[in-house]
């Protein structure tokens, strides 16, 4: 291959810029041309593509978001959209693609590979940490850090007023952010997206805390498919148990901000490995983080959404929040 392109797709995540920088600089180091596709698959279909240089990616690694911007494209989900994308890529002489994104972005990339023979390398970028085949996705650590900072602040005011707060965190169907934030903030209960809500247990946890003199309670709720579950829990606690609670939806604040050193490091390693793999002739792979190391895996093993959680983490949370 002579020319690679890189794009971000799906929700942005802190650390994507580090991955872009590593892809660009490794490609140039390997003697390859490197193009940046603006606004993900949508931008690709609009031919929003430019050649990048070493200095195009200077001074970006410390910033959240993505300088390439991102999108969720409906058109790319169709065979016609992907055929158009392949034509546009070829018109620039691009012969391989690095896709930074989540499972949806990977599935699109896999189809582009299968239907049009494009070599692809995926880099897992989503705050949700929910891609199969990898223990880590870029942005998760920063998102957890953001949420923990926010909950610590909420704890201050909750303590001062002896209040209960339901704090809704991101993660859609993934329990990862909620669980980690719950453990790290000493939450009294965590509501995970995959479980049915046990209001009796939540009320019991709040009540037990009050009886032993706790001055506040924090319930962390994973947003699920749509944000707003916090209000549902608030209503049920009031109606069924006469318990008052405030709701705070952290929302997109979790997705922004400077990436943590962990995200910077893993994203840089992944960007570097992705280009090396393509330069070595790999056709459909993804960078993954396994047993503390960045390694390569077949893209086909990373196409599923991962919603499982470690039961021992729930046990840890439960046994420490008594
Ligand atoms: O990128 C993942 C994520 O942040 C989820 O945690 C959240 O449910 C969703 O994206 C929010 O979507 P949007 O990008 O449309 O705001």
Give, for all 322 residues of the chain, the pLDDT tens digit.
999 999 999 999 999 999 999 999 999 999 999 999 999 999 999 999 999 999 999 999 999 999 999 999 999 999 999 999 999 999 999 999 999 999 999 999 999 999 999 999 999 999 999 999 999 999 999 999 999 999 999 999 999 999 999 999 999 999 999 999 999 999 999 999 977 899 999 999 999 999 999 999 999 999 988 889 999 999 999 999 999 999 999 999 999 999 999 999 999 999 999 999 999 999 999 999 999 999 999 999 999 999 989 999 999 999 998 8
Does the annotation mark 128 as catalytic?
A: yes
What's the pLDDT score for residue 226? 80
Q: Residue with the nearest Cα to atom 5 of ligand 1?
A: 171
CA distance 182 to 309: 13
The answer to whether the CB of 104 is under 6 A from ligand 1 is no
Please state, in angstroms and as integers, the Cα–Cα distance from residue 87 to each residue in 114, 118, 252, 279, following that order. Answer: 15, 11, 35, 22
What's the pLDDT score for residue 145? 98
What's the pLDDT score for residue 122? 98
Helices (H) and strands (E) in the chain, counts: 10, 11
The answer to whether the CB of 129 is under 6 A from ligand 1 is no
Q: Residue with the nearest Cα to atom 6 of ligand 1?
A: 171
CA distance 204 to 226: 26
Q: Residue with the nearest Cα to atom 1 of ligand 1?
A: 11
The answer to whether the CB of 180 is under 6 A from ligand 1 is no
Q: Which helix (H) or strand (E) holds 318?
A: helix 311-320
What's the pLDDT score for residue 89? 98
The answer to whether the CB of 126 is under 6 A from ligand 1 is yes
Top mutation candidate among 11, 15, 250 for ligand 1, by most atoms within 8 Å of CB: 11
CB 24 within 8 A of CB 77: no
What's the pLDDT score for residue 256? 98
Please state, in angstroms and as integers, the Cα–Cα distance from residue 49 to each residue in 31, 65, 231, following that order. Answer: 20, 19, 43
Top mutation candidate among 125, 128, 138, 193 for ligand 1, by most atoms within 8 Å of CB: 128
| Three-state DSSP class for residue 96 | strand
- Give the total residue count for the chain: 322
Q: Using the mean position of ligand 1's atoms as its centre, give its distance from the Cα of residue 72 in Å.
A: 11
CA distance 39 to 20: 13
What's the pLDDT score for residue 194? 75
What's the pLDDT score for residue 195? 76
Is the model's pTM score more than 0.95?
Answer: yes
For the stretch 280-291, what's the b/e string if a residue is b when 16 or more beta carbons lie within 10 angstroms of its beta carbon? eebebbbbbbee
| Sign (positive or negative) of CA dihedral 253, 258, 264, 270 | positive
Ligand 1 atom at shortest distance from the alpha carbon of 171? 6
What's the pLDDT score for residue 108? 98
| Three-state DSSP class for residue 150 | helix
187 is in an annotated binding site: yes
């Amino acid at each position: 291959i002579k020319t690679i392109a890189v794009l971000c797709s799906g929700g942005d995540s802190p650390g994507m810029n580090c991955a872009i920088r590593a892809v660009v600089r490794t490609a140039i180091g390997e003697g390859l041309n490197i193009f940046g596709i603006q606004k993900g698959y949508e931008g690709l279909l609009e031919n929003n593509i430019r050649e990048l240089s070493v200095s195009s990616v200077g001074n970006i690694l410390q910033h959240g978001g993505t300088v390439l911007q991102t999108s969720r494209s409906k058109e790319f989900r169709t065979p016609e959209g992907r055929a158009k994308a392949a034509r546009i890529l070829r018109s620039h002489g691009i012969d391989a693609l690095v896709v930074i994104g989540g499972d949806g972005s990977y599935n699109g990339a896999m189809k582009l590979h299968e239907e049009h023979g494009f070599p692809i390398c995926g880099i897992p970028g989503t705050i949700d940490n929910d891609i199969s085949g990898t223990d880590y996705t870029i942005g998760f650590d920063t998102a957890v850090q953001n949420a923990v900072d926010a909950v610590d602040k909420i704890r201050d005011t909750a303590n001062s007023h002896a209040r209960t707060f339901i704090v809704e965190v991101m993660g859609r169907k993934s329990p990862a952010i909620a669980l980690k934030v719950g453990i790290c903030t000493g939450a009294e209960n965590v509501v995970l997206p995959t479980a049915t809500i046990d209001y009796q247990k939540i009320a019991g946890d709040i009540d037990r805390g009050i009886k032993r003199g706790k001055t506040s309670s924090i319930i962390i709720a994973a947003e699920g498919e749509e944000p707003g579950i916090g209000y549902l829990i608030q209503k049920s606690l009031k109606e069924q148990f006469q318990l008052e609670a405030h709701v705070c939806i952290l929302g997109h604040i979790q997705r922004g901000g400077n990436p943590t050193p962990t995200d910077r490091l893993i994203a840089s390693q992944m960007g570097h490995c992705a280009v090396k793999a393509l330069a070595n002739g790999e056709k459909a792979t993804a960078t993954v983080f396994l047993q503390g190391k960045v390694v390569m895996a077949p893209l086909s093993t990373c196409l599923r959404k991962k919603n499982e959680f470690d039961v021992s983490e729930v046990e840890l949370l439960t046994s420490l929040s008594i």
